[in-house]
Chain A
Amino acid sequence: MEWSWTVVLDVMPKMLAGLVITIQATFIGAILAYVLGLMLAILKMSKSKPLAFSVYWSSEFVRRTPLLVQLYFLFYVLPDFGIFLEPFTAGVLGLGIHFSTYTSEVFRAGIENVPKGQWEAAKSLNYTPYQTMRYVILPQAIPPMIPPLANYLITMFKETPLLAAITVVELFNAANIYSNSNYKYLEPMTLVGVFFLLVSVPAAIAANRLEQKFKPEEVR
Chain B
Amino acid sequence: MNKIIEFQGVSKSFGDLQVLENLNLHVMSGEKLALIGPSGSGKTTILRILMTLEPIDSGIVMVDGDYLWHQKTDNKLEPASEKHLHKMRQNICMVFQQFNLFPHLTVVDNIVQPQVLIKKSNKNDALNKAEELLALVGLEGKESQYPHQLSGGQQQRVAIARALAMDPKIMLFDEVTSALDPELVDEVLTVLHQLAESTDTTMLTVTHEMNFARDFADRVLFFDKGKIVESGPPDMIFTNPKEARTRDFLKNFIGKI
Contacts and interface: CB of A to CB of B under 8 A. Distances in A.
A120 B96 contact: yes
Interface stretch (A37-45, A135-143, A185-193): A135-143
Interface string A113-157: 001011011011111110100011001100000000000000000
B244 interface: no
Contacts of A115: 100
A23 B183 CA distance: 59
A125 B53 contact: no
The A interface is mostly helix, strand or loop, or mixed, namely helix
Contact of B52 (A118, A123, A220): A123
A117 B7 CA distance: 25
Contacts of B219: none
Interface string B92-119: 1110101011111000000001100110
B104 A127 contact: no
B104 A125 contact: no
Contacts of A139: 104
B117 A135 contact: yes
B193 interface: no
A123 B98 CA distance: 15
Interface residues of A, number: 19
Interface in B128-184: 147-148, 162-163, 166
B117 A127 contact: yes
B52 A125 contact: no
Query: In the complex, which of the residues A117, A121, A129, A131 has the most CB atoms of chain B within 10 Å of its own CB atom?
Result: A121
Contact of B166 (A117, A125, A131, A220): A125
Contacts of A125: 93, 114, 118, 162-163, 166
Interface residues of B, number: 26
A206 B136 CA distance: 47
A109 to B, nearest CB: 18
Contacts, number: 58
Contacts of A126: 86, 89-90, 93, 114, 118, 166
Interface in B158-216: 162-163, 166
A59 to B, nearest CB: 26
B102 A118 contact: yes
A61 B164 CA distance: 49
Contacts of A121: 96, 100-102
A131 B117 contact: yes
A163 to B, nearest CB: 38
B44 to A, nearest CB: 12
B68 interface: no
Contact of B96 (A117, A135, A136, A140): A117
Given A118-B100, A136-B102, A127 B114 contact: yes
A103 B169 CA distance: 43
A80 to B, nearest CB: 43
B19 interface: no
Contacts of B147: 220
Contacts of A128: 86
Interface string A24-44: 000000000000000000000
Interface of B: 51-53, 82, 86, 89-90, 92-94, 96, 98, 100-104, 113-114, 117-118, 147-148, 162-163, 166
Interface of A: 115, 117-118, 120-121, 123-129, 131, 135-136, 139-140, 217, 220
Given A124-B89, A124-B93, A124-B96, 11 more contacts: A117-B96, A118-B102, A120-B94, A121-B101, A123-B89, A125-B93, A126-B86, A126-B114, A126-B118, A136-B102, A220-B148
